[in-house]
Amino acid sequence: MGIAALGLYSQAIILFAALALFTSFIMLAQARMMPLIFTFAWQGLLLAVVSVLTAIASKHPELYVSAALTFTLKVVLIPWLLYRLSIKLNMQYDAEAIEHPTLLLLGGVALVIFSYFVAQSIIHLSGLATRNTIAVSIAIELLGMLLMCVRKSAVAQVIGFMSMESGIFFAAVVSTYGMPLIVELGVAFDILVAAILFGVFFFHLKDSFGSLNVGQFNRLSEANQPMPLRDAAGEPSPGDPS
Amino acid sequence: MSATFGTPLLFAYAAVLCTLLSGAVSLLAVRSRPGFLHFGSFFFLFFSGAASIAAGGWTLLAKLTVTDHFALGLPWLDWHLRIDPLSGFFLVLLGTLAVAISLYGPSYTREFARGPAAQPLPPLGVFTALFVLGMQLMLLADDALVFMIFWEMMSLCGYFLVVYQHQHAANRQAAFLYLLLAHVGALVILLSFGVLAAFGGGLTFDQMRAAKLTPLWATLSFACAFLGFGTKAGMVPLHVWLPDAHPVAPSHISAMMSGAMIKMGIYGIVRVSFDLIGDVRWEWGMVVLIIGTASSLLGVLYALMQHDLKRLLAYHSVENIGIILMGLGMSMIFLGSGHKMLGTLGLVAALYHTINHALFKGLLFLGAGAVLYRTHERDLDHMGGLIHRMPVTAFLFLLGSVAISALPPFNGFVSEWLTFQTALQAPALENGLLRTMMPIAAALLALTGALAAACFVKAFGIAFLGKPRTRRVARAREVPVGMLGGMGLLATLCLLLGVFPTTVIEAMGPITQLLVHEALPSATAQGWLWLTPVSPQVASYSAPFVVAAMVVVFGLGYLFLKRGTAPARRVYAWDCGFGQLTQRMQYTSTAFSQPIRRVFGGVWKIEERVDTLASAGLIPRVTNLNYSLHTYDWSWLKCYVPIGRMVLAAANKIGFIQTGNIHTYLKFSFVTLLVFLWIVS
Amino acid sequence: MDRELTAWALALAQALLFIAAAPLLAGWLQRVKCHMQNRDAPAVWQPYRNLAKLLRKQMLLAENASWLFRAVPYIVFGAVLLAAAVVPLFAVHLPSAAIADMIVLVAFFALARFFTALAGLDIGTAFGGMGASREMMVAALAEPAMLMAVFTLSMTASTTNLSVATAYMLQAGLVLRPSFLFALLALAMVAVAETSRVPVDNPATHLELTMLHEAMILEYGGRHLALIEWASQIKLMIYSVLIIDFFFPWGIATDFSAMALAVGVIAVTAKLMLLAVVLVVWETVLAKMRLFRVPQFLGFALMLSLLAMLTHVVLETG
Amino acid sequence: MTLTLLEVTLLVPLLGGLLLAIVGHRPIAGWINVAVGAVTFGAALAMALEVFEHGPQLSPSRMFYIDAFNVYLVVLTAFVGLTTSIFSRPYMRHEVERGRVTDRRLRLYHSMYQCFLFSMLLALSTNNLGVLWVAMELATLTTVLLVSLYRTPEAIEAAWKYFILCGVGIAQALFGTVLIYFAAESKLGGERDDTLLWTVLHGIAGGGLDPAVITLAFVFLLVGYGTKVGLVPLHNWLPDAHSEGPTPMSAVLSGLLLNVALYALVRVKMLVDASLHTNLAGHLMMGFGLLSFTVAGLFLHRQHDVKRMFSYSSIEHMGLITFGFGMGGPLATFGALLHMTVHSLTKSAIFITVGHACQLAGTQRIDQIRGLIRTQPAIGWGLLLGTVAIAGFPPFGVFISEFLLLMATMKAWPWLTIPLLVGFGVAFAGLFRHVQRMVFGEPPPGQKPVAANMLPVVVHLFLVLWLGLAIPGFLSRWFEQATVLISGASPL
pLDDT digit string (tens) for B317-330?
Answer: 999 999 999 999 99
Among candidates D154, D185, D212 on the partner chain, residue whose Cβ is nearest the Cβ of A220:
D154
Among candidates A150, A214, A239 on the partner chain, residue whose Cβ is nearest the Cβ of B632:
A239
Q: Does B604 touch chain A (CB under 8 A)?
A: yes
For chain C positions 108-167, those within 8 Å of chain B (CB to CB) are 108, 110-111, 113-114, 117-118, 120-130, 132-134, 136-137, 139-144, 147-148, 151, 154-155, 158-161, 164
**Cβ contacts of B379 on chain A, cutoff 8 Å:** 241
Cα-based distances in Å from B43 to A93, B110, B111, B582, D375: 84, 15, 18, 46, 31
* Pairwise CA distance, residues D173 & B397, whole Å: 73
3 state DSSP class of B34: coil
Q: Quick one: residue B12, left, alpha or beta (phi over 0 = left, psi -120 to 50 = alpha)?
A: alpha
State what percent of residues in chain C have pLDDT above 70: 97
Cα-based distances in Å from B258 to B44, B111, C237: 22, 21, 42
pLDDT confidence of residue B415: 94
- Residue A242 and residue B244: Cβ atoms within 8 Å? yes
Q: Quick one: residue D338, left, alpha or beta (phi over 0 = left, psi -120 to 50 = alpha)?
A: alpha
Paired strand residues for B631: B606
**Any long-range contacts for C293-296 (C-beta under 8 Å, 24+ apart)?**
C294/C138, C294/C141, C294/C193, C294/C200, C295/B599, C295/C137, C295/C141
Strand-strand pairing, B569-571 and B605-614: unpaired
CB distance A209 to A217 below 8 Å: yes
What residue in B sits closest to D233 (Cα-Cα)? B668
State what percent of residues in chain C have pLDDT above 90: 40
pLDDT confidence of residue A38: 92
pLDDT confidence of residue D465: 93
- Residue A234 and residue B662: Cβ atoms within 8 Å? no
- Residue C140 and residue B587: Cβ atoms within 8 Å? no
3 state DSSP class of D197: strand
* Pairwise CA distance, residues A181 & D193, whole Å: 7
Overall average pLDDT of the A149-167 stretch? 89
Most D CBs within 10 A among A163, A190, A191, hence the mutation to make, goes to A190
Residue C318 clears pLDDT 70, i.e. is over it: no
Task: Determine the straight-line distance between the first and last CA of chain D, rounded to whole angstroms.
Answer: 32
Residue B390 clears pLDDT 90, i.e. is over it: yes
Q: Do chains D and C touch (3 or more CB pairs under 8 A)?
A: no
Residue B260 clears pLDDT 90, i.e. is over it: yes
What residue in B sits closest to C126 (Cα-Cα)? B586
- Residue B648 and residue A114: Cβ atoms within 8 Å? no
Among candidates D158, D171, D185 on the partner chain, residue whose Cβ is nearest the Cβ of A176:
D185
For chain C positions 217-246, those within 8 Å of chain B (CB to CB) are 218-219, 222-223, 227
Residue D62 clears pLDDT 80, i.e. is over it: yes
Residue C133 clears pLDDT 60, i.e. is over it: yes
CA nearest neighbour of D249 among D393, D65, D117, D398 = D117
- Per-residue pLDDT of C106-120, as tens digits, reads 999 999 999 999 999
Residue B488 clears pLDDT 90, i.e. is over it: yes
CB distance D438 to D357 below 8 Å: yes
Paired strand residues for D58: D65
Overall average pLDDT of the B649-665 stretch? 87
Residue B537 clears pLDDT 80, i.e. is over it: yes
- Residue D195 and residue A180: Cβ atoms within 8 Å? yes
Among candidates C126, C306, C313 on the partner chain, residue whose Cβ is nearest the Cβ of B587:
C126
Closest chain B C-alpha to A59 CA, distance in angstroms: 33
- Residue A125 and residue D130: Cβ atoms within 8 Å? no
Residue D392: phi and psi, rounded to 5, are: 85, 40
What residue in D sits closest to A172 (Cα-Cα)? D178
Closest chain C C-alpha to B315 CA, distance in angstroms: 18
Residue A232 clears pLDDT 60, i.e. is over it: no
- Residue D168 and residue A145: Cβ atoms within 8 Å? yes
- Per-residue pLDDT of D410-444, as tens digits, reads 989 999 999 999 999 999 999 998 999 899 988 88
Q: Confirm whether pTM is higher than 0.90.
A: yes
* Pairwise CA distance, residues B62 & B310, whole Å: 39
Res. C208 pLDDT band, cuts 50 70 90: low
Sign of the torsion angle spanned by Cα atoms B446, C115, B412, B101: negative
Residue B622: phi and psi, rounded to 5, are: -75, 115
- Per-residue pLDDT of B9-51, as tens digits, reads 889 999 999 999 999 999 888 878 888 888 889 999 999 999 9
In sequence order, the 6+-apart residues with CB closer than 8 A to the CB of D350 are D310, D383, D386, D387, D390
Residue D207: phi and psi, rounded to 5, are: -70, 0
What residue in C sits closest to B596 (Cα-Cα)? C137
- Residue B546 and residue C99: Cβ atoms within 8 Å? yes
* Pairwise CA distance, residues D172 & A187, whole Å: 13
Paired strand residues for B622: B614
pLDDT confidence of residue B6: 66
CB distance C260 to C91 below 8 Å: yes
- In which element (H, E) is residue C168 found? helix C162-172
**Cβ contacts of A227 on chain B, cutoff 8 Å:** 648, 651-652
**Cβ contacts of D394 on chain B, cutoff 8 Å:** 148-150, 152-153, 156
Paired strand residues for D64: D126
Q: Do chains A and D touch (3 or more CB pairs under 8 A)?
A: yes
Sign of the torsion angle spanned by Cα atoms D41, D46, D47, D49: positive
Overall average pLDDT of the D323-328 stretch? 92
What residue in B sits closest to D424 (Cα-Cα)? B184
* Pairwise CA distance, residues B394 & B423, whole Å: 35
**Cβ contacts of A130 on chain D, cutoff 8 Å:** none
Q: Does D151 touch chain A (CB under 8 A)?
A: yes
CB distance B434 to B337 below 8 Å: yes
Most A CBs within 10 A among B382, B635, B661, B668, hence the mutation to make, goes to B661
Paired strand residues for B609: B628
CA nearest neighbour of B524 among B512, B545, B542 = B542
* Pairwise CA distance, residues D91 & D84, whole Å: 10
pLDDT confidence of residue C198: 81
- Residue B540 and residue C101: Cβ atoms within 8 Å? yes
Closest chain C C-alpha to B100 CA, distance in angstroms: 26
Chains that contact D by 3+ CB pairs under 8 Å?
A, B
**Any long-range contacts for B651-655 (C-beta under 8 Å, 24+ apart)?**
B651/A227, B651/D298, B651/D299, B651/D300, B651/D301, B651/D302, B651/D430, B652/A227, B652/D302, B654/D295, B654/D298, B654/D299, B654/D302, B655/A222, B655/A223, B655/A224, B655/A225, B655/D299, B655/D302
Overall average pLDDT of the C97-111 stretch? 91
Q: Does B655 touch chain D (CB under 8 A)?
A: yes
* Pairwise CA distance, residues D251 & A78, whole Å: 34
* Pairwise CA distance, residues D272 & A53, whole Å: 34
Question: How many Cβ atoms sit within 10 Å of the Cβ of residue B437?
Answer: 23
- In which element (H, E) is residue D65 found? strand D65-66
CA nearest neighbour of C60 among B580, B567, B577, B570 = B570
Residue D188 clears pLDDT 80, i.e. is over it: no
What residue in A sits closest to D426 (Cα-Cα)? A233
Q: Does D351 touch chain A (CB under 8 A)?
A: no
CB distance D43 to D5 below 8 Å: yes
* Pairwise CA distance, residues C13 & C19, whole Å: 10
Res. A128 pLDDT band, cuts 50 70 90: low
Overall average pLDDT of the C142-147 stretch? 90
pLDDT confidence of residue B5: 58
Sign of the torsion angle spanned by Cα atoms B97, B100, B105, B106: positive
Chains that contact B by 3+ CB pairs under 8 Å?
A, C, D
Sequence ranges of the domains in chain B: 285-560, 635-680
Instruction: Looking at mean pLDDT, say which of B568-577, B598-607, D204-213 comes out highest.
Output: B598-607
* Pairwise CA distance, residues B453 & D88, whole Å: 64
Q: Does C303 touch chain B (CB under 8 A)?
A: no
* Pairwise CA distance, residues B99 & B51, whole Å: 10
* Pairwise CA distance, residues D88 & D149, whole Å: 14
Res. B545 pLDDT band, cuts 50 70 90: confident
Residue A234: phi and psi, rounded to 5, are: 60, 50
Q: Does A168 touch chain D (CB under 8 A)?
A: yes
Residue D134 clears pLDDT 50, i.e. is over it: yes
* Pairwise CA distance, residues B492 & B362, whole Å: 12
- In which element (H, E) is residue C136 found? helix C126-157
Cis peptide upstream of residue B567 (ω within 30 degrees of 0)? no
Sign of the torsion angle spanned by Cα atoms C146, C8, C94, C232: positive
Residue B405 clears pLDDT 80, i.e. is over it: yes
pLDDT confidence of residue D3: 58
Overall average pLDDT of the D241-255 stretch? 91
Overall average pLDDT of the B145-161 stretch? 94
What residue in C sits closest to B413 (Cα-Cα)? C107
CA nearest neighbour of B665 among D161, A234, D437 = D161
* Pairwise CA distance, residues D295 & B7, whole Å: 52
- Per-residue pLDDT of D207-221, as tens digits, reads 767 888 888 899 999
- In which element (H, E) is residue B403 found? helix B391-404
Q: Model ipTM?
A: 0.91
**Cβ contacts of B183 on chain D, cutoff 8 Å:** 391, 393, 424-425, 428
Cα-based distances in Å from B233 to B178, B359, B640, C256, D158: 12, 16, 18, 53, 48
Q: Does B2 touch chain A (CB under 8 A)?
A: no
Res. D189 pLDDT band, cuts 50 70 90: low
* Pairwise CA distance, residues C77 & C217, whole Å: 14
For chain C positions 160-219, those within 8 Å of chain B (CB to CB) are 160-161, 164, 206, 208, 218-219
Residue B81: phi and psi, rounded to 5, are: -115, 150
Query: Which residues in C123-214 belong to E strands, given as ranges?
Result: none
Closest chain C C-alpha to B546 CA, distance in angstroms: 7
* Pairwise CA distance, residues C114 & C136, whole Å: 8
* Pairwise CA distance, residues B304 & B312, whole Å: 7
